[in-house]
Structure 1
Amino acid sequence: MLQCTTIDRADPRAAPSAGLVTLFAAATGAIAANLYYSQPLVGLIAPALHLPKPAASLLVTLTQLGYATGLLFLVPLGDLLENRTLIVRLVGATVVALAAAAVSSGWAMFLGAALLIGISSSAVQILVPMAASLTPDAVRGRVVGNVMGGLVFGILLARPFASLIAYAAGWRAVFGLSAVGMAGLALLLRARLPRLTPKADHSYVSLIASLFVLYVTEPTLRRRAAYQCAAFGAFSL
C-alpha cells in the first residue's frame, strides 16, 4: 500500500527519527486499544443500559464489525488521500464515538457508538503503511516491527486498563478518559506527522476491487489470512 510522491521532508529516503517512530507506535497502540475496552466490561455495561442478556455480546461484536468495515472501505483511501489529514480526521471521529459511548443513556446509542469506534479505529492500518512509506528499505523491517509492537501492546493492555479504571471510577470513565486521550493524540499527530500524498492513478472502486483480485491470485495471502483468522479467533475467545 501507499506509493508516495510528496513528503514534507528534506530527504525522503532518510530514516524517520526515533521520536517519530515512537509516536507511530504509541498512536497505533492507543487507537487499537479502543477496540477492546468493552470486552471485560460487558457485565457492567449491559445491565446499566438495559440490554437483554442474549444481545450483550453485541457490545463487543459491533466494534469488531465496524473495524472490519473500516479496513475494507476506509483504509484503501490511504492510497488516494493525503495520509496525515485522513488519519487525524479518523481519530477525531473516534473522539466523538468514545464520548457518545461514555454518555450513552440507552443501549441503542451505545451500540451505534461501538460501531463507529470500530470503523474509525481502522486508522491504525493507515498509520502502519505510512510509517513504512517514510522509511528506506534498509531499515523498513525494524521500523515497521517497532510500530507493530506498539499496536500489539495496545491490544494486550486495553483489557486490564479498562478493568482497573472501571473498578475505580465506573465503566463510563473508561470511554471518557479515552476520548480525552484521543483528542490529545489527534492534535499531536496533526503537529508531528509529515504530509504524505500518494499517487492518485487509480479510482476508489478499482482499489476495492483489487482486494478481491489479490485474494484470488495470491496463494500466500490466502494462507496468511487463514492463519491470522484462526489466531484472532483464538485471541478473542
Structure 2
Amino acid sequence: MGRNTLLAAVCAVAVASIYVAQPVLAGIGADLGLPAAGLGWIVAAGQLGYLAGLALLVPLGDLLDRRTLIAGHLVLTAAGTVLAAAATRLWVLLAGLAVAGLFAVVVQTTVAYAAARSTPGERGRTLGAVTSGVVLGILGARVAAGALATAWGWRSVYVVLAVLLVTLAGLVLRTLPADPRGDRSSYRDALTSLGGLFHERLFVSRGLIAFFLFASFGTLWSGLALPLAAAPWRLSAAQIGLFGLAGLVGALGAARAGRWADAGFARAVTGSALALLAVSWAAIGQASWSLGFVVAGVVVLDFAVQAVHVSNQHLLATAHPDRTSSAIGGYMLFYSLGSALGATATTTVFAGTGWPGSSVLGAGFAVCAFTVWASGFRGRGRRAGRCRCVPGRPGRSRRRVRRTRGGRAGSG
C-alpha cells in the first residue's frame, strides 16, 4: 500500500466514525428504546467531540511526532467505537461517540503529515489524493453502514470500524517514516498560535469560504433524503444511500485540483469551482420531477466542494509550513460550523418551503462563498491602483509597492 493510499484510508475510516450513525439512527432508537426526538443527540455527540478535538488536540501535531500521534489517535478512536458498540444505555452510547469524535481529528493531523512530507511541487497533488479519503469516508460510510446494519445490526458497524482503525494504526507505525517536530514550544504556545491565525487575512478568508462551502454541502446531504423519500419517488433508505456514489464520482474527480494548485492556480480554481457550486443547485433543485438532474447536480457539487477544499488547504499549508497542524485544524473549525449550519437550516427551510427553498438556501451559501473569494481580488485591485497614483514621487511609490506585495501574499 502506497503512502498516500494509506493516509487516505486513515482519513476515510476516521471520519466515517462520525457519520455512520446517520443511516442507522432508526435501528439504534428501536434497540435502545429511544424516542425520535432524542435521536439527534446521537449525531450531535460525535460532532461536538470533533469540534473539541479540533481546538484541543490538532495543535499537538506541531509539537509531537505526527506518525506516533496518528497511530495513538486511531487506537483511541477505536476505543470510542467499541464503547458505542457495547452500549445498552443512551449515556454510554453518547460517551463512546463523543470519544470517537474527539480523536477522529486524526484526519487533520494526517493531512498535515501528508503536506509536511511532500515537496512543494507535489503538495497539492498529495493533498488531493489524501483528502479524497475524507469525502470517501463521509459519503461511503452511508452506503457501507446501511449494508452492515441490514445484515448484522447497527452494532456491527462500530465493531467493523474498531477493527479497521486498529489495523490502520499498526500499518501507520510499520510503514510510515517518523515525523519529529523539533519544536520546543509548549502546548500553551501552540494554542496561542492557533488563536493568532484568526488575525491573518489569508486564514480568515479561506476559513469563511470553507464555512459557506460546507454550509452548502451540508444543505444537500442533510436534506436530500427528504424530497427523495416523499412523493413521487418514495425511495427507500438504501436507495437514497446510493446517491452517495454520485457524490463520490464528483469528489474523486476533483483530485486533479491538487495538481492545478501545484501549478499556481489555487485561487483561480477556487473561483471557478465556487461558480460551479452555485450552478449545480439549479439541477439539484429539480428533485421533484427529475432524478437525472439531481445525480448530475450532485456530481458537480461534490467536484466543486473537493476542488475548493484542496485548494484552501494547499494555500494554508504553503503559508504555514511550521504550524501546518494548527492552520488546518483551525480552518476545519469553519468547516464544522458551516456543516452544522447547513444541516440545521435545510430541514427548517424544507418544512416551510419544500426542496425548492432548500435549493435556494444551498445556492445562497455558494454565492456567499464566491463573494468572499471575489472580495480578495477587489482589495488587491484597489491597492494596486493607489500605487500607480503617485507619479513623480518615487520614494512614496516604492513604499506603497512594498505594502501591496505584502497584502498580496496575505490575501485570499
Q: TM-score range by the shorter chain?
A: 0.7 to 0.9
Q: In structure 2, which of residues 205, 208, 212 is the aligned counterpart of residue 227 of structure 1?
A: 212
List aligned pairs for 1:76-225, cutoff 5 A.
76-218=59-201, 219-225=204-210
Q: What letter is aligned with 1:154?
A: G
Q: Does 1:42 align with 2:34?
A: no
Query: Aligned equivalents of 1:54 and 1:27: distance in 2?
Result: 33
1:188 to partner: Cα distance: 0.9
2:384 equivalent in structure 1: none
Q: Does 1:26 align with 2:12?
A: no
CA-to-aligned-CA distance 1:47-103 (integer Å, 9 cap, x gap) = 312333322101001101111111111010000111111111111111111111111
Q: Does structure 2 conserve the Cα–Cα contact (< 8 Å) formed by 1:40 and 1:162?
A: yes
Residue segments in structure 1 that go unaligned for 5+ positions in a row: 1-17
Q: What letter is aligned with 1:100?
A: L
Aligned pair in 2 of structure 1 residues 92, 22: CA closer, same or farther (>3 Å)? Answer: same
Higher helix share: 2
2:409 equivalent in structure 1: none
CA-to-aligned-CA distance 1:154-189 (integer Å, 9 cap, x gap) = 111001110111011100111111111111111111
1:222 to partner: Cα distance: 4.3
2:54 equivalent in structure 1: 71
2:258 equivalent in structure 1: none
Aligned pair in 2 of structure 1 residues 182, 222: CA closer, same or farther (>3 Å)? Answer: closer
Give the aligned length. Answer: 220
Q: Does structure 1 conserve the Cα–Cα contact (< 8 Å) formed by 2:45 and 2:97?
A: yes
If asked which structure has higher relative contact order (CA below 8 Å, sep 6+), I would say: 1
2:259 equivalent in structure 1: none
Query: Aligned equivalents of 2:134 and 2:206: distance in 1?
Result: 21
Across the aligned residues of Structure 1 and Structure 2, the Cα RMSD in angstroms comes to 1.6
Q: Does structure 2 conserve the Cα–Cα contact (< 8 Å) formed by 1:215 and 1:222?
A: no
Q: Does structure 2 conserve the Cα–Cα contact (< 8 Å) formed by 1:79 and 1:199?
A: no
Tell me the SS of whatever aligns to 2:87. Answer: coil
Tell me the SS of whatever aligns to 1:197. Answer: coil
Query: Aligned equivalents of 1:152 and 1:196: distance in 2?
Result: 25
1:9 equivalent in structure 2: none
1:203 to partner: Cα distance: 2.1
Q: Normalising by structure 1, what TM-score?
A: 0.87
Q: Does structure 1 conserve the Cα–Cα contact (< 8 Å) formed by 2:59 and 2:194?
A: no
